Amino acid sequence: MPHLEQTSLRQAVADVLPFDVTWDIPAGKAYDWFVAAPASIILTIVLGLAFRWFVCRAIDRVVGRAAKGAVPGVLANSRAGEFLADRRPAGHQRRQQRAETMGSLLKSVATGLILSVVTVTVLAKLGVQVAPIIASAGILGLAFGFGAQNLVRDFLSGIFMILEDQYGVGDSVDLGEATGTVESVGLRVTRLRDVNGTVWYVRNGEILRVGNQSQNWARTVLDVTVAYDTDLERVQTILQDVATSTYEDKRFHDVIIEAPEVWGVERFDKDGVVVRVVLKTAPAQQWLVARAMRQRIKAEFDRAGIQIPTTFPTVHMEDRS
């Protein structure tokens, strides 16, 4: 009887445990189940965490270098070179924010990929069939891609816009139907405000072209109209003097970055001759320089007796008496 009870107990234990039990279990099989498999899983997780730390560390170093920026050496000794670096409003902060945004995105992508590989590897070590899981993930990814094409396109366009630095917060841009100052740049939507105060939300995937008026440098272009009987040489001399005095003004030292140029006669209009003068300015400062130049040109023309032609409407009166 004791022998029969012992045999029944062994059979009950064998029915409960997930492997074939004999009371003469090979040492190698027990070692694989209780030591090798857990150790292999723990090692996989540790290696995954270590690799993630290494990748994030490398991304942080790249982001740190990108946030500092650099000025080309050939430009370091010129006044224009000071502005061909990023001199836009809050340029350093903007460059740092852009680098941090891309760094955060890269870290998220790297973490997701590493976590997926570690999870699949652990499941395979536990004896789970991972082939159906991988196939299901591929099908879900394909379905998501087809179902959210516009969303994926918006995000991809936003990533490339940030990477290429097409525009940023504070830039004056023309996005086609919307024109104004950029207030926010996201991976999916760009927000800008026009001159009337209207806020526009533009999906990044719908932006086909970007006209940035605030990148690296800008140009003030003034077309001044004078009468046909005016001495054009004198007009050009006055314009050159006014532009040069503005360029040398201390208030505009950090605004106008190159010596101004008078390009001469631009065209003939019905009201008079159009003479063009141009000044290269810091980003987004072209309108400030244009307003100052117009005021100074008007004052100099008044002193010189040069009239800016104006057109008055002609009214014809009929005498029906």
User: Which domains does the chain show, CATH number per domain?
Assistant: 30-147 (no CATH), 166-212 (2.30.30.60), 218-304 (3.30.70.100)
Least confident residue range of 1-10, 183-192, 229-238, 260-269: 1-10
What is the C-alpha separation between 188 and 186, in angstroms, rounded? 5
Query: Which residues have CB under 8 Å from 7's CB, separation 6+?
Result: none
239 pLDDT band (50/70/90 cuts)? very high
How many helices (H) and strands (E) would you count in the chain? Answer: 9, 8
Q: What is the pLDDT of residues 88-122, one digit of tens each?
A: 445 566 667 677 777 777 888 888 888 888 888 88
Q: What is the pLDDT of residues 181-230, one digit of tens each?
A: 888 888 888 999 988 889 999 998 888 888 888 778 889 999 999 999 89
Query: Which residues have CB under 8 Å from 159's CB, separation 6+?
Result: 102, 105, 187
What is the C-alpha separation between 214 and 89, in angstroms, rounded? 9
Is pTM beyond 0.85? Reply is no
